[in-house]
Structures are given as structure tokens and as C-alpha cells.
Amino acid sequence: MAPAVGIKRPAAQTITLPPPAVRDVLRSTIPSQPAEAPAAAERALPAAPAPAVEGFLCLEEVDGRRWSYVVGGGGAVKGRGRGGAAGPAGASVRAVPLQSPLPPAEEIMAFIRSYVVPEGFPDSVTPSYVPYMSWRALKHFFGGAMGVFTTRTLLSSVGVSQSKATPGAIAINWILKDGAGRVGKMLFARQGKKFDYDLKQLRFSSDLLLEIGAGIELTTAAFPHFFLPMACVANVVKNVAAVTSTSTRTPIYKAYARGENIGDVTAKGESVGNIADLLGTGLSIFISKRNPSLVTSFAFLSCGYLLSSYQEVRSVVLNTLNRARFTVAVDSFIKTGHIPSLKEGNSQETIFNPPWRHEPVAIGSRFGEAFQEPASFVAIRPLFEDERYIVTYNPTKDKVYALLKDQAKSDDIIKAAFHAHVLLHFINASHARRLKQKQRQANPDRSDYGSLYSRNMDFLAHIAESCKIVSSSYGTFKKKAREQGWIMSESLLNPGKARLCGAKPL
């Protein structure tokens, strides 16, 4: 065997090569590489970057304004980049605006718009957003102005301005006033889902309560010795209004948002309210220095506040059918065969519902409220054997009741509400005919009008007729409502919790 040959390198590293015979064996076992391998290896290496040259790169648009990006040379000295490509040393990218600079007035308006309108406006919100925010800003303007007068009156009544009380007593009275308000806020929170299905009505009612609270606060100027009880009552009323306003705010903003921008819409809406509130506060401070009449100022500001609040609520367009909008839709369908559009249905909705107002339809009522005698129930029960509800009319209370069975689902509750309104339409038409017949008689006995509605009226025939109408038209009603964009949900109709059970008690 031939001895190994050693080659020494200058770095004192020795590489031992195998003898010639071993090298021949290794060459025979290792397959030879194709001739194209070096070329393929060169292609696999990353290509050297193209040399940077001066000139146009691209266009960019931001909020309707365009910029052109160009490469500017940094000097005449050339260097070599990676891969041996030559390029200008110190080359930079410059943004060249393609429009002339905005005038100062437009710059200021753009700055203000960034605080008061959502990004992408007007495409990012619904068309009714502008009237809503306009009335909301006006309402907050009057509210901010009213706050100056109420705060000034409270401070005067508690004895700060006239130094009639010690600071400790003043602080205790103020703390008790605020504590009573927090208790009222906590107790009113039990209203629960009412904030969802009657949010327009509750929103306007909260603003009405807010003005009542402000009126009580202003009254403390005439009765300063009763400051604590009057201020506590006023603060309870105002905090109840604050809970209602806060709870109904998000659903309203959600109705205006297009896409996932509810946070942006809410932030800009609150910003508009705060700006208007500050403007109203500043103007009221300026006016209050002239000592205007307290009664006149309160009357003017309250009327402006409530009018703005009413128009603000009326401008809200919701696509859900609560009881008020459901009534509008069903009445229109019965009379004309058409379902009103979202804007028409919301504009016809009743905004103010006083507690003493008679509600002609009740859904999910208890059995004892609907039936005064068992004969009525036994007579109409066969008409609803195939339904999961029972609809009846109580002549004594002049009210239509929809009783739900324990198997009732969402669509059954909506159908029961539809059936109740159809029956109410037949009964009202029957009342109108009877009145006309009575008015045709000479010297009608007006004392007999009450019995005309409650006694000797065969409403069973109306119930049977309503069953036929509902079975043939309920599907059409739902279809047309969906075509107009309405969303129906049984929870927004606020049905009662009572259910009729089929099983007999043990």
C-alpha cells in the first residue's frame, strides 16, 4: 500500500490525502455531476438587485390626495452594491404632492371633521346619521346651558354663595344628594330588556325626567331650607334618566354603523355631544352674568331641549319590529296590503307612551286576565287546537289577549301577536259600525254607549273570522316584511312569561 502524502499549510493545519488507489475507488462509487450543475447552482443564487436609478416609483392616495414617489440621486459618486451592480451612492425616496396645498380654512375643517365624523363618512354610516347627530348636538347645547343655571341655583341654596353654612355641612349635604342619586340609578337598572325593545320611548322619557329633575333643582332657590330632600329627589330623577340614556345609546349607534365601526361611530357621537355641551355652557355663563329671569330661562331652555330630544328620537331608523313598529306594520298590511318601509315605519311609531295610556293588545297574559268566565274559553278553545296560542277578547276591559302555550316558539309568538292585531281590527270595525247605527237614531241615549262596547257583542264570530284571515295571510305578511328589511324577533315584542300547560295537575 502506498504511503499517505501529507501537505502542510502555512496556518500549521495538515490535510492528509488518501493514496491514489483509494481515490480511484471513491471516484468510481460517487456518481459524476452533470455538466449543467454549475450553471444550475448559479441560477439558484439570489439575483443581484437592479441598480437604483433616478425616476418615478409609484403613486399613493390618502383621503383623496395623491403623492408621487420618485428616487432622487444623492451625488455623482457611484459605488458597487451586492453582486457588483453599480448604483448611486446615498439615493433617497422623495414624496411629491400632485395637488396644491390645501387652504388654511380647509385644513381647519379637515381637522374638525376628524373629531366629529366617523372615518369614511358618509359611506361608513347610514343616511339618517346626519339628522340624528344634528338634533343630538342641539339637545346637548340646551342641556349644557341648563346645567349652568341649575348648578348656580344649587350652590346658592346650599349656602355657599351667602356663607350661611359651614363647609363641613355643605359637603355632607352634597354627598347625601349624590348618594341618593346613585341609589336611584341602581334601582332603575332592573328594567332589563325594556332598554332594548322600547329604547326610543325610554330615551325620550329619560330626557323628560332630566328636565323634571332640573326643575326641582331650580325650585330649591325658593325653598332653601328644604335643600336636602329636594336635591335628593332631583338627583334620583336625573340619575334614572342617566341610566336610561346610557343603556339606549349603544343600540342607537349600532343602527347607524355600517360594518365593524361601532366604536368609531360611538366615539364621534360622544365628541359631538361634548362640543355642543361646552358651547351651551359657555353661552349660558355669558348670559347668566346679566341675571336673567330664572323662570323664563328655564322655560326657554326646557322647550328647546325637549323639542330637540323628540326630533332626535324620531330621526332614529331601526330595522327591528318592537310592539309600536309591529302595530304600524300590521295595521298598514291589513288596510292596504303593503308593509311600510323602514323609514316610514319608524316615522309613524309612537314615541311618547304615558303610563296611563290604554294598551289594546296584551301578549303572553295570564288566564285570569283574559277570561272572566269559563264558557268563553270552552267556546274558543277548539279554534286553536292546531295553534300554540289562544287569542281572545275581553269586553269588560276592551282588550285583546294572546295566551301562549308551553310549546310556543319564536314564530308562534309573532303569529299570536299578528293574530291579536287582526282580531282587534275586526272588533274596532264592528264598534265603528254600531256607533254609526246608533248615531242615525233620533235622540240617542248617550249613557248607553258604554254598554254598546262591553255587553251583548258576539265576538266569537270575529275570532273565527280572524282565524281564517291569519291562516291565509300570515305567510305573506312575513315575506313582505323581510322584503322591506324588517327583522322580527319575539323578544322585542316583550311577551309575558305566562304559558298554558296541556297536562292536568296531579
Q: At what angle do helices 227-256 and 129-158 cross, to 10 degrees?
A: 170
pLDDT of the residue at 301: 94
Question: Do both 374 and 242 map to the same domain?
Answer: no
With respect to residue 14, please indicate whether it lies within any of the assigned structural domains: no
pLDDT one-digit tens code per residue, 199-239: 899 899 999 999 999 999 999 888 888 888 898 899 889 88
Q: What is the pLDDT of residue 339?
A: 95
- Give yes or no: residues 188 and 165 share one domain: yes
Helix 129-158 and helix 294-314, axial crossing angle in degrees, nearest 10? 150
Q: pLDDT by residue (tens digit) across 457-493?
A: 567 888 999 999 999 999 999 999 999 999 887 768 8
Give the amino acid at 23.
Answer: R
Q: What is residue 89's predicted lDDT score, i.e. its pLDDT?
A: 52
CA distances from 278 to 17, 267, 309 (A): 92, 17, 18
Asked if 258 and 125 count as a contact pair (C-beta separation under 8 A), the reply is yes
**What mean pLDDT is predicted for residues 280-293?**
90
> What is the mean predicted confidence (pLDDT) over 320-324?
90
What pLDDT is recorded for position 71? 85
The CATH number covering residue 180 comes to 1.20.1250.20
Q: How much is the pTM?
A: 0.75
DSSP string, 247-310: HHHHHHHHHHB-SS-HHHHHHHHHHHHHHHHHHHHHHHHHHHTT---HHHHHHHHHHHHHHHHH
Q: Are both 256 and 356 inside the same structural domain?
A: no
State the pLDDT confidence band at 40, using cuts at 50, 70 and 90. very low
**207 and 341 part of one domain:** no
Q: 124 and 273 in one domain?
A: yes
Q: How far is CA 500 from the centre of its chain?
A: 35
Q: How many residues does the chain have?
A: 506
* Residue 184 forms part of a structural domain: yes
Final residue of a structural domain among 273, 294, 315: 315
Q: Bigger pLDDT: 436 or 496?
A: 496
How high is the pLDDT of residue 498?
92
Percentage of the chain surpassing pLDDT 90?
A: 40
Query: 271 and 156, same structural domain?
Result: yes
Q: Mean pLDDT, to the nearest integer, of 329-351?
A: 94
* Residue 89 falls inside a structural domain: no
* Domain end position, chosen among 315, 350, 367: 315
412 forms beta bridges with: none
Q: Which residue has the higher pLDDT, 48 or 361?
A: 361
Q: Is residue 28's pLDDT more than 80?
A: no
Contact status, residue 470 vs residue 334, Cβ threshold 8 Å: no
Query: Does residue 15 come out as left (phi exceeding 0), alpha (psi in the -120 to 50 range) or beta?
Result: beta
Amino acid at 454: S
> H-type helices in 371-483, by residue range?
374-380, 410-440, 449-454, 460-483
Closest CA to 397 of 424, 369, 375: 369
In a domain, 258, yes or no: yes
Distance, CA of 127 to CA of 343 (rounded, Å):
11
| pLDDT band, very low/low/confident/very high, at 76 (cuts 50, 70, 90) | very low
Q: Is 11 helix (H, G, I), strand (E, B) or coil?
A: coil
**pLDDT for the residue 24:** 56
Are 163 and 230 in the same domain?
yes
Asked if 271 and 419 sit in the same domain, the reply is no
Render pLDDT for 366-378 as a digit per residue (tens, 0 to 9): 999 999 888 889 9
Answer yes or no: are the C-beta atoms of 197 and 247 closer than 8 Å.
no
| Count of domains observed in the chain | 2
| Whether 164 and 202 share a structural domain | yes
The answer as to whether 443 is a domain residue is: no
pLDDT at 48 (0 to 100): 46
Average pLDDT over the chain, rounded to whole?
80
| DSSP state letter for 82 | G
Name the nearest CA neighbour of 390 among 123, 65, 337, 400.
400
Verify that 261 and 327 share a domain, yes or no: no
| CA angle, residues 280, 205, 267, in degrees to nearest 5 | 50
When mean pLDDT is compared across 141-155, 298-312, 416-430, 438-452, the lowest value belongs to 438-452
What is the reported pLDDT for 172?
72
Is the pLDDT at 2 greater than 80? The verdict is no
Inside any domain, residue 59: no
Q: Which of 275, 290, 315 is the last residue of a domain?
A: 315
Residues 350, 291 share a domain:
no
pLDDT tens digits, residue range 127-160?
A: 999 999 999 999 999 999 999 999 888 888 776 5
Please, which residues have CB within 8 angstroms of residue 239's CB and are 6 or more apart in sequence? 181, 182, 184, 185, 188
Is residue 174 in a domain?
yes
Quote the domain boundaries for residue 394: 323-438+453-484
- 496 falls within a domain: no
What is the predicted pLDDT for the residue at 393?
93
DSSP percent split of the chain into helix, strand, coil, nearest 5: 60, 10, 30
Q: Based on the domain organization, do 145 and 285 belong to the same domain?
A: yes
